[in-house]
C-alpha cells in the first residue's frame, strides 16, 4: 500500500473483527481476532494505534510478535479485502479526493 508514508500521514482502518476467517486463524494460533489483525497490519508495515483502556488489553496488544502466519493464513487474511465495495468510506467527500495522488483512490 502506498500513499501514507509517502505523504507523511497515517490512515486509520476499522475492521469487522467477528469475521469467521479471523476466528479460525486466532484459534489456530491461540490468539484473539484483535491480535491477529494487529499482527497482520504490523507485518504489512502499517502503523497501528489500537484503542485500549484496560491494562489487560494493553498487554494483549503487545503480545503479537510471538507467532507467525502460514502462507495459507496470509492468503485468507488478504482475502478479507473486498475492495471499494467493502469499504464504508471511500474518501470521496474529502477536499482533494479527485486528485490523482489521493490515497483512497488506490486499489489497495
pLDDT at 82: 74
Cell 489487560 sits at which residue? 56
Buried b (16+ CB within 10 A) or exposed e, 42-57: eeeeeebeeeeeeeee
pTM check: above 0.85: no
Q: Which helix (H) or strand (E) holds 94?
A: none
**What residue segments make up the domains of the chain, in order of their start?**
4-72+79-105
pLDDT in tens, 8-27: 666 555 556 888 999 999 99
Q: How far apart are CA 66 and CA 30, in angstroms?
A: 11
Q: How far apart are CA 64 and CA 53, in angstroms?
A: 18
pLDDT in tens, 52-78: 889 999 999 999 999 999 999 999 998
Amino acid at each position: 500500500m502506498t500513499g501514507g508514508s509517502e505523504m507523511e500521514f497515517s490512515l486509520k482502518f476499522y475492521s469487522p473483527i467477528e469475521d469467521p476467517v479471523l476466528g479460525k486463524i486466532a484459534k489456530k494460533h491461540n490468539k484473539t481476532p484483535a491480535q491477529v489483525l494487529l499482527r497482520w497490519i504490523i507485518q504489512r508495515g502499517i502503523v497501528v494505534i489500537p484503542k485500549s483502556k484496560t491494562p489487560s488489553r494493553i498487554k494483549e496488544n503487545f503480545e503479537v510478535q510471538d507467532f507467525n502466519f502460514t502462507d495459507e493464513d496470509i492468503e485468507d487474511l488478504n482475502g478479507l479485502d473486498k475492495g471499494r465495495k467493502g469499504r464504508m468510506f471511500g474518501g470521496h467527500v474529502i477536499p482533494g479526493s479527485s486528485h490523482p495522488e489521493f490515497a483512497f483512490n488506490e486499489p489497495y
